Amino acid sequence: MSGTAIIIVAAGRGTRAGGEPKQWRMLSGQSVLARTVAAFRGAGRIIVVLHPDDMARGIAEFAGRATLVAGGETRFESVKNALETIDANEISQVLIHDGARPMVSAAVIARVTAALETATAAAPALGVTDALWTGADAKVTGLQPRDGLFRAQTPQGFRFPAILDAHRAHPGGAADDVEVALAAGLDVAIVEGDEENIKLTWPGDFARAERMLGTGMDIRTGNGYDVHAFTDGDHVMLCGVRVPHAKALLGHSDADVGMHALTDAIYGALAEGDIGRHFPPSDPQWKGAASHIFLAHAAEMARDNGYRITNADVTLVCERPKIGPHAHEMASELARIIGVGRDRISVKATTSERLGFTGREEGIAALATVTLMKP
């Protein structure tokens, strides 16, 4: 008899977090409960306690990975239901963990398990370091000494026979299993907890967990490509700069091929189509329009959706005119229009080695890549 069972309590409705029960809410691509179960993989036999209404969902997600037990009206009843399913001939110790604590680390689990080698019960906790007040009617009424106070966490570990007997003897209504153990006269050892082992209770807790996982940041990349043919003229507009040339570029607007490619890259990163969706060529008001109107609109749309443009890279493909002498000015103009630092914009050029329509000097092509970031 030396096995370990892990009871993950997830039968509550979690209404304070808003929306569906918090254990089923998505956290960086996985449900909270799936992350919690994964944290204990390899630590022992996993028992997940679910609300009866969630059993079908639990079977679909955890079949073959965990034993499912129907919970009761209270957390105390849910834990007791799980304890009663355990065979004392196979299990010697039990870890009881909140399903809404998906950030528990292997180190915390190991510290609790190690403590059970000499203790009947053990639980992680963090000493209280903030000042504590009492209050009423939104006013401070007094101070509470913090010496000897701890913030309780889970998993809380127990020798199996002792915690089973404690639950059977307890009248119910305990806040956690340490309270049940203390009522039965058991000594509970304190091991070091972890600040990241948070319990997801309020909506803000989910944002904090996303940040800790490093996936709360939304990063998007978009690509743009545009082509314009040459026509009669004496200059071309490229990335907002008037460049003298023996020909002009043909287009419904001012035919700024570089700016069009960058604009489409931003729209693409936002999954908002292309310039034609926002400024239809069939609309006469955009005939001959300056392309900075389009680019400024795309940049504003990115900001309105909470994104900032972290960098952009534009490549112009042509034999002539020569881009190098104007590249710095082009990058500065693009940076001004979209509202970023000059060091975040690159404009460069290449030829097609005399191949294709650009090699025959029939027009200019442009490619652009942009990265958007939402903190």
pLDDT in tens, 16-58: 655 688 999 998 888 999 999 999 999 999 999 999 999 999 9
Q: What is the pTM of this model?
A: 0.62
Q: Is 77 helix (H, G, I), strand (E, B) or coil?
A: helix
> 3-state DSSP call for residue 162?
helix
Of 294, 275, 299, 276, nearest to 237 by C-alpha is 294
Instruction: Give the residue-averaged pLDDT of 4-24.
Output: 83
The pLDDT assigned to 29 comes to 80
pLDDT at 14 over 70: no
Whole-angstrom distance, CA of residue 85 vs CA of residue 131 = 43
With respect to CATH, is domain 218-374 assigned 3.40.50.970? no
Site of tokens 């914009």: 345
* Strands 3-10, 91-98: pairing kind: parallel
Judge whether residue 330 has pLDDT over 80. Answer: yes
Q: Per residue in 87-145, pLDDT tens?
A: 999 999 999 999 999 999 999 999 999 999 999 999 999 999 999 999 999 999 999 99
| pLDDT for the residue numbered 19 | 67
**Residue 261 above 60 pLDDT?**
yes
User: What's the chain's Rg over C-alpha atoms?
Assistant: 31
- 218-374 shares the fold of 3-213: no
Instruction: Work out the percent of the chain whose per-residue pLDDT is above 90.
Output: 85
**SS3 call for 350:** strand
pLDDT of 2 above 80? no
Rounded distance between C-alpha atoms, residue 256 and residue 365, angstroms:
10
pLDDT surpasses 90 at 189: yes
> β-pairing, 91-98 with 156-159?
antiparallel
Asked if 198 contacts 98 with a C-beta cutoff of 8 angstroms, the reply is no
Burial state string for 328-366 with b = 16 or more CB within 10 A and e = fewer than 16: ebbbbbbbebbebeeebbbbebeeeeeeeebeeeebbbb
> What pLDDT, on a 0 to 100 scale, did the predictor assign at position 215?
59
Select from 116, 124, 125 the least CA-distant residue to 161.
116
C-alpha 237/C-alpha 239 separation (Å) is 7
Contacts of 205 by beta carbon, 8 Å cutoff, 6+ apart = 17, 198, 199
The pLDDT, as a whole number, for residue 368 is 98
Backbone angles phi, psi at 95, to 5 degrees: -110, 130
pLDDT the model gives residue 41: 92
Top-level CATH class of 3-213? alpha beta
C-alpha to C-alpha distance for 198 and 191, rounded to whole angstroms: 16
CA distances from 34 to 66, 109, 298, 362, 367 (A): 11, 17, 38, 58, 42
Alpha-carbon gap, residue 297 to 135, rounded angstroms: 51
The pLDDT value recorded for residue 171 is: 95
Is the bond into 155 cis (omega within 30 degrees of 0)? yes
How many angstroms separate the CA atoms of 123 and 210, rounded?
A: 26
Domain boundaries, the chain: 3-213, 218-374
- Quick: pLDDT tens for 49-62: 999 999 999 999 99
How many Cβ atoms sit within 10 Å of the Cβ of residue 268?
Answer: 22
| Two tokens, residue 24 | 């089923």
Cα 276 to the center of its chain, rounded Å: 32
- Poorest-pLDDT segment among 66-80, 174-188, 208-222, 266-280: 208-222
Average pLDDT of the chain, as a whole number: 94
Residue whose pair of structure tokens reads 């993950």 in the numeric block: 8
- Contact assessment for residue 277 and residue 267, using Cβ atoms and an 8 Å cutoff: yes
**Tens digits of per-residue pLDDT, 213-247?**
875 578 999 999 999 999 999 999 999 999 999 99
The predicted-structure confidence for 281-329, as pLDDT tens digits, reads as follows 888 888 888 999 999 999 999 999 889 999 999 999 999 999 999 999 9
Contact between 188 and 153 under an 8 Å Cβ cutoff? The reply is: no
Q: What token pair was written down for 238? A: 């490229």
Backbone angles phi, psi at 81, to 5 degrees: -55, -40
